Chain A
Amino acid sequence: MRVEEERGRTWGLLAEFERPEELVAAAQRAREAGYRRMDAYTPFPIHGLSDAMGFRPTKLPLVVLAGGIIGGAAALGMMWYSATIHYPLNVAGKPFASWPMFIPITFELTVLCAALTAVFGMLGMNGLPMPYHPVFNAPRFAFASRDRFFLCVEATDPKFDIEMTRGFLSGLGAKEVVAVEE
């Protein structure tokens, strides 16, 4: 019964490491041990950590490609429609659909839409802005934006068991393992 209560309140277990190599190794071991619902928190992007955590390549490039294509097509379509259908203007007998002159604006709007998609796509996929997150309740979590590296196994992981997981994380060389309150 007591364990059940604690599971309800605890969001996860947060292990603190001093060096990025230790974190990468720990993430790898945790994954090999069968933990899936976990995340790492680091002050800078660490190469190799994504692989150790088992992340799949992000879909962001495809989304950005789509954003760019939509922007470019909309720009070209707008200019073509206005110059040939909505308000055709005969300038010295030149063709209405003088597409080479439409290229600069098409290019600019392609870049604009792709860039907006990249930024808002990244923020959206990451769920930002997010005013509250349980992991901020951990007392030393402020160091995740300075010089400490954290690995968090979340309570929703099927293998999560507060004592077993705590023992496992301490065994990975963590400096400290704390329970994160919901």
Chain B
Amino acid sequence: MSDAARRGRSGPPVIEPVHTYASVTDKISSIVLSRRTPLFWIVGFFLSFLLAMGLLVAVSYLFAKGLGIWGINQPVEWAFDIINFVWWIGIGHAGTLISAILLLLRQEWRTSINRFAEAMTLFAVACAGIFPIIHLGRPWLAYWLLPYPNTMALWPQWRSPLVWDVFAISTYATVSLLFWFVGMIPDLATLRDRARRKGFQIFYGMLAMGWRGSALHWHRYEMAYLLLAGLATPLVISVHTIVSFDFAVGITPGWHSTIFPPYFVAGAIYAGFAMVLLLSIPLRKVYGLEDFITMRHLQNMAKIMLATGLVVGYGYVMEAFFAWYSANPYETYMMTNRMRGPYAPVYWALMLCNIVAPQFLWFKRVRSTPLALWVIALIVSIGMWLERFVIIVVSLHRDFLPSSWGMYRPTGWDFTTFFGTIGLFLALLFLFIRFLPMISIFEMRTLVPDAKPLGKEAVPDDSVADHAEPA
């Protein structure tokens, strides 16, 4: 196959054609096993660990003093806690989309970014999961949300979206962990076989559980992986749908809307791909992974970001349209208040970040400039956070009776908690790229030019078998 044919019509290849089974294996496993830890890692981990310690302080103080240390008040009972929760959960969704939906759609370019994106999902869900627990007035009773036999003869309220959330998030966290770990088993075996130091051999040996690449095992493994992808696909859609029910089932103006589920799911994918770009652009540079995470990946992610950004933009337009078309004074006022009320700058910043910024992605020049993509991804990430601020705070602070209107101002502890979760997320990611293979080695082997003639249904090559003697 000629080089041009392999590249196809769509520009850069998904893996540079110089690679072989061995070079792919050695290059990815060397990041963990033999290469010196780069200065970038040491500084990055140190800084993010410091931020994560800030989270520890903020949460400890919260548990000691109570929710009064946050800026929440009577009309605005939900603020940073739920904004951050929805933001983090949304970011996680791109990982599942890349690993499950693109697998089912046979998009083989997903291979070099899926492991990394799955790790991102897992850590984002971990950060998200902190908020619903710490925002409880009595966080030590969080286990009351689970159905368990108790002497109070009490059950969770099955008709409440907040209880659905508990099941959706815990299922999502569990399935993401399983998917990530199962995908990693063969690579852990590779690391076990490559490791030179005793400690690493034992560490990876335990995790690999004795995987030996048996054909019979692969046979079942591929089926299990496919089934997990098939299960994760509706799951990821359901999770953000249920998160949107937290709002849509309520009657607050600006929340009670049927467009919420699709608009939240699109927003989640939008934010998630922004985060994948935000992380993968510096990583491919620092670790020299441009051969594996090529311009093709960046361009494809940019296109998905543009498409989901347009869906989100449609959501904003429809919200405004129906606020007017409903002829409901509360809905109309909600929209006027967003555009011209005390939080108007946040609303217009959101429009700038989420609708205007991605329009640059129409240009191929922008899509093929990593720095420009990184900046747009950063703007979109901020925009998605602002979107949740607008939905939650701006709807709550002026709902029905003007006598109960109020204002919300975040405190330093709100910010410490939020930035602390960013620190926790980054610290976990740094540990991941140091100790686990950040690119799926065994799937990359199937992409190298040597594996190409195999196709999907390999026909045994008779010229090889001709030498065989009848036994």
- Which A residues have a C-beta under 8 Å from some C-beta of B? 19-22, 24-29, 33-35, 39-50, 52-53, 55, 58, 60-61, 64, 68, 78-79, 82-83, 86-87, 91, 98, 101-102, 104-105, 107-109, 111-112, 114-116, 118-119, 121-123, 125-126, 128-133, 135-136, 141-147, 159, 164-165, 167-168, 171-173
The B interface is mostly helix, strand or loop, or mixed, namely helix
Q: A45-B442, A128-B217 are in contact. List 4 more A-B contacts (CB 8 A).
A: A24-B458, A44-B446, A45-B446, A144-B193
Contact B159 A98 (CB under 8 A): yes
Q: What are the nearest 6 A-B pairs in CB distance?
A: A129-B209, A122-B224, A147-B21, A48-B458, A130-B210, A40-B215
Smallest Cβ-Cβ distance to A109: which chain B residue: B167
Contact A50 B219 (CB under 8 A): yes
A sample of 17 cross-chain residue pairs with beta-carbon separation below 8 angstroms, ordered by A number, consists of: A22-B464, A29-B468, A50-B218, A68-B231, A104-B245, A105-B167, A111-B235, A112-B171, A115-B178, A119-B181, A119-B228, A141-B212, A144-B213, A145-B25, A145-B192, A147-B21, A167-B469
Give bound CA distance, A28 to B167, whole Å: 48
- Which B residues have a C-beta under 8 Å from some C-beta of A? 20-22, 25-26, 147, 153-155, 158-159, 161, 163-164, 167-168, 170-171, 174-175, 178-179, 181-182, 186, 189-190, 192-194, 209-224, 227-228, 231-232, 234-235, 238, 242, 245, 442-443, 445-446, 450-451, 453-462, 464-465, 467-471
Contact A146 B216 (CB under 8 A): no
Q: Which of A29, A50, A78, A135 has the most CB of B within 10 A?
A: A29
Contact B215 A49 (CB under 8 A): yes
Smallest Cβ-Cβ distance to A110: which chain B residue: B231
Q: Given A39-B215, A41-B213, decide whether A20 and B223 contact each other with a Cβ distance below 8 A.
A: no
Smallest Cβ-Cβ distance to B465: which chain A residue: A25
Contact B158 A105 (CB under 8 A): yes
Give bound CA distance, A123 to B182, whole Å: 9
Contacts of A83 in B (CB 8 A): 155, 158
Contacts of A123 in B (CB 8 A): 209
Contact B154 A60 (CB under 8 A): no
